[in-house]
């Protein structure tokens, strides 16, 4: 049982780091932020957590603010799959979005299980250069295989003082873990090339990468550090 517990803890930490890498890489995913439904796009992301654990997502958001996606994390020993469906709407300068995620867990030799998670997000446009967003995940207190899935809340500001620079500053809290501070920035060097940087406080880590934007296609590559487990690589393609 002790070996089984350590195995689950390690993989849970690995999954968390993979998801967070996307956040600091400035690649908005509807799996982590429902308000991304408000921005029409087709997106695929592939994350290689610590060089060994793959995490892949594919999502589509329609101009009518309907979004859907699928994701897969892990290998033949441990795998998490998700199916997501969400809807958003905008009233005045405030956007709202709600989504349902079907979460499926399979562990070789131990069986499989599934559950549903309910997420909600809102984004307020304060002025032409400042927005505030707030996200709640797993509001329905889901559990899987007898274990409660952590609740998550995040909120912060998106600042775009000019067309060539953007900064995102937010607070993030997950059940049983301390508050995190997350700060990331994106600087346009040209109409085609941008650089991105990010830091977070728990665990202390740093991310950096490049974004190419030919026409309506966005190509990105980011690397994220971890104080113990090493590097995570993130590759993304987005069409808007």
Residue with tokens 């967070």: 20
Q: What angle do CA 7, 9, 15 make, to 5 degrees?
A: 100
At 28 the pLDDT is 67
The model's pTM is 0.83
Q: What is the pLDDT of residue 123?
A: 95
Of 74, 82, 23, the closest CA to residue 50 belongs to 74
Q: Are strands 204-212 and 217-224 parallel, antiparallel or unpaired?
A: antiparallel
Q: Classify residue 151 by its DSSP letter.
A: P
92 phi and psi, to 5 degrees?
Answer: 55, -120
pLDDT of residue 6: 40
Give the chain's residues under pLDDT 50: 1-7, 9-11, 13-27
Strand partners, 132: 124, 157
Cis peptide before 203 (omega within 30 of 0): yes
**pLDDT for the residue 21:** 38
pLDDT of residue 76: 85
The superfamily (CATH) of domain 2-239 is monomeric porin ompg (2.40.160.40)
């Amino acid at each position: 049982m002790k070996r089984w517990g350590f195995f689950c803890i390690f993989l849970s930490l690995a999954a968390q780091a993979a998801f967070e890498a996307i956040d600091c890489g400035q690649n908005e995913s509807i799996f982590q932020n429902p308000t991304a439904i408000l921005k029409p796009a087709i997106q695929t992301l592939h994350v290689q957590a610590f060089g060994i654990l793959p995490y892949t997502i594919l999502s589509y958001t329609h101009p009518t603010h309907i979004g859907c996606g699928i994701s897969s994390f892990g290998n033949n020993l441990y795998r998490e799959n998700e199916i997501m469906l969400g809807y958003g709407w905008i009233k005045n300068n405030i956007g709202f979005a709600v989504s349902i995620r079907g979460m499926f867990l399979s562990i070789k030799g131990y069986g499989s299980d599934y559950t549903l998670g309910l997420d909600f997000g809102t984004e307020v446009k304060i002025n032409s250069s400042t927005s505030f967003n707030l996200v709640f995940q797993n509001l329905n207190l889901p559990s899987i295989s007898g274990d409660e899935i952590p609740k998550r809340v995040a909120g912060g500001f998106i600042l775009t003082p000019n067309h060539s620079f953007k900064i995102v500053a937010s607070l993030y809290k997950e059940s049983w873990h301390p508050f995190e501070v997350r700060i990331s920035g994106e600087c346009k060097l040209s109409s085609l090339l941008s650089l991105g940087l990010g830091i977070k406080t728990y665990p202390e880590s740093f991310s950096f990468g490049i974004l190419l934007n030919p026409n309506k296609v966005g190509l990105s590559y980011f690397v994220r550090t971890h104080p113990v487990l090493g590097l995570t690589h993130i590759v993304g393609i987005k069409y808007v």
